[in-house]
Amino acid sequence: MITVRRAEVGDVEAIRQIGLVTWPVAYAGLVSDEFITDGLAQWWSPEAVERGIRNGITLVAAEGEQLIGIVGLGREGDFWVMWKLYVLPDHQGKGVGKALLDAAVKALPEGTPELVLDVLVGNDKAIGFYRANGFREAPKTPDRDLGVELMWMSLDLQTA
Ligand SMILES: CC(C)(COP(=O)(O)OP(=O)(O)OC[C@H]1O[C@@H](n2cnc3c(N)ncnc32)[C@H](O)[C@@H]1OP(=O)(O)O)[C@@H](O)C(=O)NCCC(=O)NCCS
């Protein structure tokens, strides 16, 4: 059985492992090896993961004792942004991503109008997942320049 719960500081290492395993598989061929190495160092360091738990909303999916997926949201200006949604490769396609997304939406403060995210252009698997789950191209977005092509998507939470 899969359960989704709020992450605790004691989960930092297990969350990091999800990034370290999933990123290279998800992004091979889409971005440079350097982008993957730098991104893991910047966004999946123990400090960055702990900051996400303390300052934002981080939820984990667990199967028994093992953490198999993670979603991370944070506030950026007027926006709530989903910065991370990653399911271990062996556990993808079984509803874990959807369970994390649903729990993330529920965890947002009441009245939040939309949830936005950025996804690498070319990450068609993720874009397909987001479209299938109600995300559309975002008209308004936070500023972010990573030196790679990003697509911003938005989930309308007002008319849902
Ligand atoms: C993208 C990701 C989070 C999705 O999680 P998942 O657990 O594999 O997806 P789920 O099994 O929960 O899919 C839920 C629903 O979306 C649909 N779906 C999933 N991928 C899809 C796709 N590429 N196109 C269309 N629909 C898709 C599923 O059919 C399912 O719908 P159903 O319940 O009606 O059958 C996961 O595959 C992942 O971690 N990918 C690699 C990392 C990544 O790219 N993350 C996003 C970074 S922006």
Stretch 70-86: mean pLDDT, rounded? 97
- Total domains, the chain: 1
11-60: pLDDT as tens digits: 999 999 999 999 999 999 999 999 999 999 999 999 999 999 999 999 99
Q: Is 132 in the pocket of ligand 1 (CB under 6 A)?
A: yes
| Residue 141: C-alpha distances to residues 19, 37, 116 (Å) | 24, 26, 7
pLDDT-derived band at 148 (thresholds 50, 70, 90) equals confident
The whole domain housing 60 covers 2-156
- Each residue's pLDDT tens digit, 104-145: 999 999 999 999 999 999 999 999 999 999 999 998 888 888
pLDDT band at 146 (very low <50, low <70, confident <90, very high): confident
> How far is Cα 141 from Cα 154, in angstroms, rounded to an integer?
9
Which residue's entry shows tokens 């993720």?
A: 126
* Ligand 1 atom 17, closest CA: 129
101 Cβ inside 6 Å of ligand 1: no
Which pLDDT does position 144 carry in this prediction? 82
CA of 113 to the centre of ligand 1 (A): 23
For 133-149, b/e burial (b = at least 16 CB within 10 A) is eebeebeebeeeeeeee
Q: Is 129 in the pocket of ligand 1 (CB under 6 A)?
A: yes
Domain containing 112 — which CATH number? 3.40.630.30
